[in-house]
Each structure stands twice: as structure tokens, then as C-alpha cells.
A and B are shown apart, each in its own frame.
Chain A
């Protein structure tokens, strides 16, 4: 699980070009919204495409994306639950 978390952090850093910001948040910091990293819907698309490419995980719709992309931990847990990573 820890390895998946590190790979998710790397994905956020490289795909969103947010290395400094990502280094400063916890695994439970909200990725979206004013209380967290402040990502937007275009970032969400970038993450969805990155997850598919890096982990083979498909996020089909907005509702799934809202749940899965909540935090670094929820992304890692989703990857693990899909038997990927």
C-alpha cells in the first residue's frame, strides 16, 4: 500500500506539475475544494487519464471520480481494490 501511495504522489507531482504542493500535503488532505489542494475539473481529467495509463484503473464517470479522487489515500485504496498497482 505504501508503495502505491508513493506512486500516486509521483503521479500528482508529474502530471499536474505540483511537486512542491504535493510534498506538503498529507495522504488525507482533500485534493479538491478550497480547504485542500484546490484542484479543478481539468486536473481531475488529467488524473483520470494518468491513473488509466500508469495503473490500468478506469474511472468512468464524475460520481466515481468525486469518490476516488478525494485524497491520495482514496486513490491508492481504489487502485488496490481494483487489484492494480
Chain B
């Protein structure tokens, strides 16, 4: 059985914002799903009685999706978020389709264009740069 690609993400389950990978071309493009549900602890207080997925968590979801394009076992940090736009509220019951495409890089930095869609309509988009942490990072001064 093929291992679920999201299991390669370094984040623990409580901070994982990708539910399923639909398409994955390593190093090039990935399409993933994130289901938004009312009993998500982040939504219970954001806001009481008016659950709304926080924009920063949309970005986290997009960054984690982009991270699936990095070599297996990589750890990476957010290095840059550019041109982030939030076009529509994301609420319980919505299914996010997150599409990330790699658009170049230099050394340990990788640039991605990422969009999150609900029912085919863009809810959020951003250009995201991830910095891969090298295995010997701890040895550097």
C-alpha cells in the first residue's frame, strides 16, 4: 500500500492542514484537499457563533501543501509570503482545493504559487517561499 503523502509532513496531526493529496508531481505541482469543519478547535473561538477559518491558517494550509513538493524528509520554514489575497470567507462545510506550483528557486529557497479554491472559486492565493533546512544546519555557526 502506498503511504499517504501527508504523513511525510513534519507537522503533528493537531497542526496539519492538509487532508488528502489528489495529484503530486514531485518538485513541480501538487493538488490537495483540506476539509473545514465546525468542531475544528481553531474555529470555535474564531469567532464564537460565527466560525471563520483564520487567514493565517489558510496560508499555513497553502504552505504545507507547497511543502509536499520538497524532497521527502525535508524540513522547511516559511521564508516569505507575497501577494497574499483573501478573496472569500472560508466557513465550516467548505472543502478547500489547494493547488501549488513550484516557480523556481535558488539553493535552499523554493518559490511557489499557491491558490486555495472552494467550489472552483479562489478563496485565497499567495506566493510562498520555503527555506529547506539542511541536514547539517545544526553544525553551522
In the complex, whether B5 has a CB less than 8 A from a CB of chain A is: no
Interface of B is mostly: strand
Q: Which residues of A contact B (CB under 8 A)?
A: 41-42, 44-45, 48-49, 52, 59, 61-62, 65
Q: Are B106 and A59 in contact (CB under 8 A)?
A: yes
Judged by a CB distance under 8 angstroms, whether B111 is at the interface is yes
Q: From residue 108 to 138 of chain B, which have CB atoms closer than 8 A to chain A? A: 109, 111, 129, 131
> Once the chains bind, are B109 and A42 in contact (CB under 8 Å)?
yes
B105 at the interface (CB under 8 A from A): yes
How many B residues touch the partner, as a band? 10 to 19
A52 touches B79 (CB 8 A): no
**Chain B residues closer than 8 Å to A49, beta-carbon distance:** 103-104, 111
